[in-house]
Amino acid sequence: MQPDEFRRIGHQVVDWIADYRERVDRLPVLSPVEPGWVRSRLPELNERGEGFDGLLADLDATIVPGTTHWQHPSFFAYFPSNASLPSVLGDLLSTGLGAQGMLWATSPAATELEQHLLDELVGAMGLPDRFRGGGVIQDTASSAALVALLAALHRSGTWRQSGVDGTETVYVSTQTHSSLAKAARIAGLGEDAVRAIAVDPVTQGLDVDALVRQLKSDVENGRKPVLVCATIGTTSTGAIDPVDAIADVCAEHDMWLHVDAAWAGPAALCPELRHFFAGVDRADSFCANAHKWLLTAFDLSLFWTAHPATLVDALTILPEYLRNAATESGAVVDYRDWQIPLGRRFRALKLWSVLRWYGLEGLRAHLRRHIDLAEGLEARVEADENWSLVTPRSLALLVIAHRDGDETTRRAMDAVNASGRAYLTHTVVNGRFAIRIALGAEATEERHVTAVWEALRMA
């Protein structure tokens, strides 16, 4: 494809996306297709090349009907993952440049823009100064948790040379995201090494007394506490762990404190919401997903650590073919040593597009709008005789259940999802089936919130 063909077809593709975004609110949110339907309609690989029209036609005929529409205004499932249009263009520029930023030398701008934006966000989000110079973009919060754990293991002993010794122990709550248990498994610790500490039944936040008791018992039994993960905004109910109290415990046991704020993290841009982040100034690492509430197309997790040298030392391996003068000068950062893969996309460009287009004011307005919508819905649920909140509203997340019990609640959710008019997912809180209503899609307006509420009540 020559640049001139790209110009012509590229305009078509841009128009296709614009059309898609204009009509997405009229599509069923959750794809209604059966397993195998998409695949049965896909063509064999062609021997000879073809133009782009066939692909665009198959997109309309097969891919779009087989897609669950994450950019739909009535997407309330999981956490919405915004791919705002400025971020789409920033990502396009990155792909168009086609640079690969594994080393500073392989694309200085990719590294320096990333350092710059992550440092600027330390200020904008009120994060501690100790995170300056310690910021990096990870693909997802799962990978962020994994590299935090690896750095913690490295700090704790002879891990790099001789591996884990079978005593290292990781502390999470029963509500911590499953990526932490997965990280422990990947790191060779096994399920036995993960302590899922109980939570307060009302707040769903980690019970610090229970943590202390577990630690005492583990230490007496010769285990080595390595890391605690505290969550600000759990996936299930948006619960907030008592980070400050957990930091005290970490200090006592010389443990790494990782704070997972994958969903709620961007709220730190709003000064009035900073109290949710109390204690983060004592964290060893912190993660917030720009690809959820911060309008940046997946994938882009913001990760900071107060100990970048430890992280780099944990992960670096320098074969001859990667040696270069800039690295040896010590004057540059090579981000390959901050992550699992070697190669890396120029992801900072899509973040920059978002930060410039909306401005900090615009981003704060976006966050506040969803919280306002959630407050409005909260009032309606509280006033309803059949439905109630299972846990207190957390920012823009509501968790609700029907008074008639689990079956009724589940039936209402299934009916709404099957209608295609909204998409909701569930959780279980203290043994009770509950519907999560996660507000946060960019296109969501008051009328979409009203519609999903009415649909639930009718169902």
Angle between helices 348-383 and 446-458 (to 10 degrees): 50
As a residue count, the chain comes to 459
C-beta neighbour count of 390 within 10 angstroms: 21
Rounded least distance, CB 189 to a copy of itself, Å: 5
**Segment interacting with a copy of itself, rule: CB under 8 A, options 208-216, 351-359, 373-381, 444-452:** 351-359
Distance from C-alpha of 193 to C-alpha of 207, rounded to nearest angstrom: 19
The answer to whether 105 contacts a copy of itself (rule: CB under 8 A) is yes
Cα distance between residue 41 and residue 27, in whole Å: 20
Contact status: 143 vs a copy of itself (CB under 8 A): yes
Window contacting a copy of itself (CB under 8 A); options: 80-88, 209-217, 302-310, 376-384 = 80-88
CB of residue 383 vs a copy of itself: minimum separation in angstroms?
27
Stretch that binds a copy of itself, among 161-169, 240-248, 278-286, 374-382 (CB under 8 A): 161-169
CB of 426 to a copy of itself, least distance (A): 7
**Which one among 74, 235, 285, 391 touches a copy of itself, defined by CB under 8 A?**
235
- Report if residue 62 touches a copy of itself, rule: CB under 8 A: yes
Count of helix runs (H) and strand runs (E) in the chain: 15, 11
340 contributes a contact to a copy of itself by CB under 8 A: yes
Site for a copy of itself in 250-269 (CB under 8 A): none
Size of the site for a copy of itself (CB under 8 A): 159
Structure tokens at 404: 């008639």
Contact call for residue 116 and a copy of itself (CB under 8 A): yes
Listed in sequence order, the residues at least 6 apart from 428 whose beta carbon sits closer than 8 Å to its beta carbon are 236, 434
Q: What is the DSSP string of 103-141?
A: SSTT-HHHHHHHHHHHHHHHHHTT--GGGTT-EEEES-H
Selected from 28, 29, 69, 232, the binder of a copy of itself by CB under 8 A is 69
By beta-carbon proximity to a copy of itself, the closer residue of 17 and 389 is 17
x/- map, 418-447, a copy of itself, by CB under 8 A:
-------xxxx-------x-----------
Select 40 or 220, whichever has its Cβ closest to a copy of itself: 40
Q: Which of 278, 360, 415, 451 binds a copy of itself (CB under 8 A)?
A: 360
How near is the Cβ of 215 to a copy of itself at its closest, in Å? 19
Which listed residue (28, 136, 142, 287) binds a copy of itself by CB under 8 A?
142
Ranges within 364-423 binding a copy of itself (CB under 8 A): none
Using CB under 8 A as the criterion, what x/- string covers residues 282-321 for binding a copy of itself? ---------x-----xxx--------------xx-xxxxx
Closest to 288 measured CA to CA, from 344, 364, 233: 233
The answer to the question of residue 37 lying near a copy of itself (CB under 8 A) is: yes
Q: In this structure, are residues 432 and 443 in contact, taking their beta carbons and an 8 Å threshold? A: no
Residue 425 to residue 13: CA distance in whole angstroms: 32
Does residue 74 bind a copy of itself (CB under 8 A)?
A: no
CA distances from 453 to 120, 371, 444 (A): 39, 16, 13
- The distance of closest approach from Cβ of residue 402 to a copy of itself in the complex, given in angstroms and rounded to an integer, is 18
Task: Indicate whether 275 belongs to the interface with a copy of itself (CB under 8 A).
Answer: no
d(CA 303, CA 324) in angstroms, rounded, equals: 26
Tokens read off for 376: 């409005």
Strand runs (DSSP E) across 178-276, as ranges?
A: 194-197, 224-231, 256-260
CA distances from residue 7 to 3, 17, 60, 92, 95 in whole angstroms, order as listed: 6, 15, 21, 13, 15
- Does 39 interact with a copy of itself (rule: CB under 8 A)? yes
Dihedral sign computed on CA atoms, order 153, 155, 159, 161: positive
| Among 26, 49, 222, 383, contact with a copy of itself (rule: CB under 8 A) | 49
Nearer to a copy of itself, 321 or 385 (CB): 321
Q: How far is CA 160 from the centre of its chain?
A: 28
